[in-house]
Structure 1
Amino acid sequence: MCRRRNRNDKSCQKYRKIMANLIFDYDGTIHNSMKIYEPSFRNAYQWLVDNNYAEQRDFSYEEISYWLGFNSTDMWQQFQPNLAPEIKEKVRKILGNYMGEYAENGKAELFDGAEDMLLDLKNQGHTLIFLSNCRVQYMERHKRIFRLDRFFDYFYCCEEYDFLPKYQIFRKISSQHSGQYIIIGDRFHDIETATKNGLKSIGCGYGYGTVKELEKSDIIVNNINEIPAAVKLLTEEI
């Protein structure tokens, strides 16, 4: 019988692979959202200008990508707080309609390597869970276009939970799945879900969040292809 003198004696360590519930963010983690969000944002803002609800101005890529990850109601409340509620709702729909048109016309793209990464993790036996701050229509459209149900076992979005923050949605869905959880995402909403629920997390540095947003994640990956290795590190037990 092998007896270890200490935990660092690797001569007789045995590793057991744990299958985990992997909760993935979508926009900025799987979906290269700026391909359709940037032109949609610019078109929606131009509608505000054309109708005298906003001043003409230009936006940088970074200014626009900042709003990815927010649910659309919170985004417009923070971005244009002085707009009347009915105008916020109208411009929200305009932006969403543009995104829908771009997606249906083949302009939406997943990050390179996303499908292979998801398939790899699924084939290993992990449970893949989609959790996004999007609306149901958006989720269902992308599920259809990219056949996301090839990879994901469960789908959840914030509209189904009255736009609660992700960390609260997790508390409502966690009892439906047994085992360990790992949160994978590119924004503070994702890392907050992990820290407020005592979970492990992988921060996606290739997405739209800042380094500061991801600083509390257990591992930061800078390429989508690094996610399986990060999952492996977080699911190995001695």
Structure 2
Amino acid sequence: MEKLTSVKTIVFDYDGTLHDSREIYIPAFKRAYDYLVEQKKAAPRDWKDEEITQWLGYSKQDMWQLFMPDLEDTVQQKASHLIGETMQTKLLNNEAKVYPRALETLKYLKDKGYTMLFLSNCSIDYMEQHNELFGLDQYFSKLLCTEQFNFKKSKKEIMKIVKQDYEEDFVVIGDRFQDIEVGELDGFYSIGCQYGFGKIGELKASDLVINDISELKHFL
């Protein structure tokens, strides 16, 4: 694929695209699952990493609806709290890691004059904590997350709302089907990140697939 010379605005997913969420999410999930076992709401089992990371990219509400839809609200809220608390502790301990060359690539794109938007299925607190840790706002013109829309709008629906404020053409970059769906909008290209957490086939509708974030330099 040749360079996307018409692109003016780049929309980035975060977890699985820029941030290697395994470092903080896997231990957080296991802690919450141990709680569910203690409460006799789940059976003990060993989890493979890829079984856990399949939930990355979903909003909290969607994750629980798919994972344990019949779990009582109070138990679900406690388990969610344990996940959030554990991830926050690891953030404060500087255990969160972006992918190699991720920040270098963001700087390259910023220096090239692109407008860049952050768009994640995460909470406001999570977004702000990562911004503080990695200085994301030095690269992104706008930080957007689904909690700002009460977790009621998909990424595609959010971009329908905000795209009018930015210059076309757009490219959306992410590792899950929720990101590639954004590419269905008029004036959008989509780039799928094969190294992220998507299952086989999730990226088949993308215009391009990359295996390392630094490959963006070849196309943008």
State if a TM-score over 0.5 links the two structures. yes
Equivalent-residue separation in structure 2 for 1:38 and 1:99 (angstroms): 9
In the alignment, does 2:110 pair up with 1:122? yes
Equivalent-residue separation in structure 2 for 1:197 and 1:75 (angstroms): 29
1:190 to 169, 176, 179: 179
Equivalent-residue separation in structure 2 for 1:108 and 1:179 (angstroms): 33
Say which is worse superposed, 192-201 or 163-172, in terms of deviation. Answer: 192-201
The alpha carbon displacement at 1:86 in A equals 2.1
Kindly name which structure, 1 or 2, has the bigger radius of gyration based on alpha carbons. Answer: 1
Which residue of the partner structure matches residue 134 of structure 1? 122
Which residue of the partner structure matches residue 11 of structure 1? none
What is the DSSP-based 3-state SS (H/G/I as helix, E as strand, rest coil) of the residue aligned with 1:67? coil
Which residue of the partner structure matches residue 96 of structure 2? 108
Equivalent-residue separation in structure 2 for 1:94 and 1:158 (angstroms): 20
1:157 to 141, 145, 158: 145
The alpha carbon displacement at 1:227 in A equals 1.4
TM-score by length of 2: 0.94
Equivalent-residue separation in structure 2 for 1:213 and 1:195 (angstroms): 14
Q: How many residues align?
A: 217
Which residue of the partner structure matches residue 176 of structure 1? 165
Which residue of the partner structure matches residue 67 of structure 2? 79
The alpha carbon displacement at 1:215 in A equals 0.7
TM-score by length of 1: 0.87
Which residue of the partner structure matches residue 65 of structure 1? 53
The alpha carbon displacement at 1:197 in A equals 4.6
Calculate percent identity across the aligned residue pairs: 39
Q: What are the superposed Cα offsets for residues 170-222 of structure 1, whole Å, 9 maximum, x if unpaired?
A: 11111221221100000000001112555211100111113410011111001
Q: Which amino acid aligns with 2:196?
A: G
1:47 to 35, 41, 49: 35
The alpha carbon displacement at 1:57 in A equals 1.0
1:214 to 198, 203, 207: 203
Q: What are the superposed Cα offsets for residues 40-91 of structure 1, whole Å, 9 maximum, x if unpaired?
A: 1001110111122211111111110100000111101210111012221221
Q: Which amino acid aligns with 1:162?
A: N
Equivalent-residue separation in structure 1 for 2:72 and 2:122 (angstroms): 22
Go from structure 1 to structure 2 and tell me whether the alpha carbon gap of 1:119 and 1:81 turns closer, same or farther (over 3 Å shift).
Answer: same
The alpha carbon displacement at 1:16 in A equals 9.7
Tell me, yes or no, if the aligned pair for 2:170 and 2:187 is still in contact at 8 Å. Answer: no
Go from structure 1 to structure 2 and tell me whether the alpha carbon gap of 1:65 and 1:16 turns closer, same or farther (over 3 Å shift).
Answer: closer
The alpha carbon displacement at 1:17 in A equals 4.1
Go from structure 1 to structure 2 and tell me whether the alpha carbon gap of 1:49 and 1:19 turns closer, same or farther (over 3 Å shift).
Answer: same
Which segments of 5 or more consecutive residues in structure 1 lack a partner in the other structure? 1-14, 233-238
2:193 to 185, 204, 213: 204
In the alignment, does 2:15 pair up with 1:27? yes
- List structure 1 runs of 4+ shifted beyond 6 angstroms: none
Q: Which amino acid aligns with 1:167?
A: K
Q: What are the superposed Cα offsets for residues 132-152 of structure 1, whole Å, 9 maximum, x if unpaired?
A: 000000000000011111211
Q: Which amino acid aligns with 2:203?
A: L
What is the DSSP-based 3-state SS (H/G/I as helix, E as strand, rest coil) of the residue aligned with 2:201? helix
Tell me, yes or no, if the aligned pair for 2:54 and 2:197 is still in contact at 8 Å. Answer: yes
